[in-house]
Amino acid sequence: MTGWLEAIDRLARERAKAGLTRQLRPRAAGDGVVDLAGNDYLGLSVHPEVVAAAGAALSSFGLGATGSRLVRGTTGPHAELESALAGWLGAAGALVFSSGYLANLAVIRAVGAVCDLIVSDAYNHASLIDGCKISGIRTAVAPHNDPAAVAALLDAHPGRAAVVTESVFSVDGDLAPLAALHEVTSARGALLIVDDAHALGLLGQRGAGGVAAAGLAGKPDVLVTATLSKALGGAGGVVAGPAAFIRHLVDTGRTFIYDTAPPPAVVAGVLAAVRVAADADDRRAVLTARGAEIAARLRSAGYAVPDPAAGVLSVPAPGPEAAVAWAADCRDRGVAVGCFRPPSTPDGSSRLRLTLNAGVDGADFARALNVIVECAP
């Protein structure tokens, strides 16, 4: 009976030899670390209005939602948040999930009712890849950000298809050619599914996201997903699109029907964050300026990095061990940065991933830049 544990230990040793061991590092509240690793782009997780709204709902509803959305888990804040998100994103309807991961699993599985092919970008997030796998729909992987390759795959398929992409890619931070992709899909009767997680709150008018910035908001053949845990500083996920599709998700979405609803306190906090984010052009301007500054500083240090499209900047590392050591050295000097290695990186290379945060003090940000450059391998 212990043979399987020995096999598990052997796999762990192999990962360690390849520099792919991962560790959990609990942090204390107010630890003083400059955060360039998390996804709190606008600094809203600690915004007074957001915290106050969450606290009021916590006092009113208690800790948890106490059930799934279709049992007892839907509260007034849930309905208000869905209405606010639909309006912000320019969609006919929206449905809130307990995570962005579950929202992506649901939307891809749901289009299987009308599609028999998924075309997925090679650099898509793991949640989209897993959605394709569990959907049971035949999946073709298209080269990264290549509308012509997507068109060729669709042209070779006689049935209805859906194309899946991120708007801002979570590892490299580059922007998808959404307008060009929509030209391809709309001309061929295909759906376009866009994970807007890293663009919501950052791009588009009033921060409505990458789909809105591309002029695609409200299109009947475009479905949008996003997390509520990045620029909105909370937790949860959302699918936005035509009302009929949202109804379809309510009736058939397994990760919606059978999952406990997000806590009302979190939902109320996110609702407050949506209202703040829509009017946060000043914070978005800070992010743009900081993105240009950090990219220029890294280029001067010899790293080939572009200005970030939104809040993610990817810096190549010589290998997984070097990336881990770089991140650890930064952490030892009070700066948190992301360290991405296989299988998180789609091309097998390793990177330091820096995420911008408008809530970080200007002096702390300047110090963090110095630390990152000084610790570079």
Active-site amino acid positions: 39, 125, 166, 170, 195, 198, 230
Torsion of CA 265, 266, 267, 272, to 10 degrees: 90
CA 48 to chain centre: 24
Beta bridge partners of 238: 96, 226
- What end-to-end distance do the CA atoms of the chain give, in Å? 45
Judge contact between 110 and 245, C-beta under 8 A. yes
How far, in Å, CA of 294 to CA of 309, rounded? 13
Identify the three-state secondary structure at position 139: strand
Preceding amide of 343 cis, omega within 30? yes
**Residue count (the chain):** 377
Beta bridge partners of 38: none
CA nearest neighbour of 250 among 78, 95, 112 = 95
